[in-house]
């Protein structure tokens, strides 16, 4: 379409341009939202394992704090 400098652009062209602008804006918004959704967020994984520490204390007649256990045994006998 050739437009002379002295002539104004027709209303039809303006409407078409406006529609193109709206479509471009919508398409751009959709593209950006799609791009954001496709980004994989790397989560810091975590794992826990459990161990066990165990110990058993045997009664010892040489231990002054264990005397009661042996006195009880003697009484029982």
Partner 1 sequence: MNDVSNRTLVLLTALAIAFSLFGVITILSRLGQPIPLITGLGATEIGNVSVTVATVLSIDATNNVSFGNGSNVGGVTLTTNGSVTNPSTFDEPGSFRIENDGNVDVNVSINSTRATLFITTGTSPLYNWSGTNATGDNGCTGVNNLTTANTVFGVGAQNTTVCDNLTYRDATDSVNVSIWVFIPEDTAPGQYAANVFFMAATV
The binding site for partner 1 (CB under 8 A) comprises: 3, 8-11, 13-14, 17-18, 20-21, 24-25, 28, 31-32, 35-36, 38-39, 44-60, 62-66, 69
Query: In the bound complex, what is the minimum distance in angstroms from residue 23's beta carbon to partner 1?
Result: 9
- The dihedrals phi and psi of 66, each to the nearest 5 degrees, come to -105, 5
Query: In the bound complex, what is the minimum distance in angstroms from residue 47's beta carbon to partner 1?
Result: 5
**Secondary structure (3-state) at 59:** coil
Encode 5-40: b = buried (16+ Cβ within 10 Å), e = exposed: eeeeeeeeeeeeeeeeeeeeeeeeeeeeeeeeeeee
Query: In the bound complex, what is the minimum distance in angstroms from residue 72's beta carbon to partner 1?
Result: 12
Nearer to partner 1, 2 or 57 (CB): 57
């Amino acid at each position: 379409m050739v437009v002379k400098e002295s002539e104004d652009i027709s209303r039809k062209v303006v409407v078409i341009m406006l529609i193109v602008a709206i479509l471009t804006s919508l398409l751009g918004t959709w593209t950006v939202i799609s791009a954001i959704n496709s980004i994989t967020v790397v989560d810091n994984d975590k794992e826990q394992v459990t161990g066990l520490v165990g110990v058993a204390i045997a009664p010892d007649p040489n231990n002054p704090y264990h005397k009661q256990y042996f006195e009880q045994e003697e009484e029982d006998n």
